[in-house]
Amino acid sequence: ETGVTQTPRHLVMGMTNKKSLKCEQHLGHNAMYWYKQSAKKPLELMFVYNFKEQTENNSVPSRFSPECPNSSHLFLHLHTLQPEDSALYLCASSGTENQPQHFGDGTRLSIL
């Protein structure tokens, strides 16, 4: 099992669809993160969960809704997305907030 697993790897959806991204970590970490990576822009932190509690919401539009049912699983629910939301969505985990983060392979999302 790889450390951080994301599914699906690729997702194409229309603006009216609802879909979810899934992340699972097998590293025993306590913190999990969602990032957005667009071309020629730095990684943008979206959400942080520490011990299943959301500790950061970096001004993300409400069409993105995170869920963290336990320390190993993290979801990002998507609905009525916009074309500018097309990007690579990365999940990461770390032991604690100031320790190195380990990334999953990401979900490449395309909005039609």
Partner 1 sequence: QKEVEQNSGPLSVPEGAIASLNCTYSDRGSQSFFWYRQYSGKSPELIMSIYSNGDKEDGRFTAQLNKASQYVSLLIRDSQPSDSATYLCAVFGYLYGGSQGNLIFGKGTKLSVKP
**Interface residue list for partner 1 (CB under 8 A):** 33, 40-43, 45, 48, 55-56, 58, 88, 90, 97-106
Query: Alpha carbon of 32 to those of 28, 76, 111, 112: distances in Å?
Result: 11, 12, 25, 29
In the chain, the N- to C-terminal Cα span, in Å, equals 33
| Least separation in angstroms between CB 94 and partner 1 | 8
Contact 49, 68 (CB under 8 A): yes
For partner 1, the closer of residues 48 and 74 by Cβ is: 48
| Least separation in angstroms between CB 47 and partner 1 | 11
For partner 1, the closer of residues 13 and 45 by Cβ is: 45
| Least separation in angstroms between CB 56 and partner 1 | 6
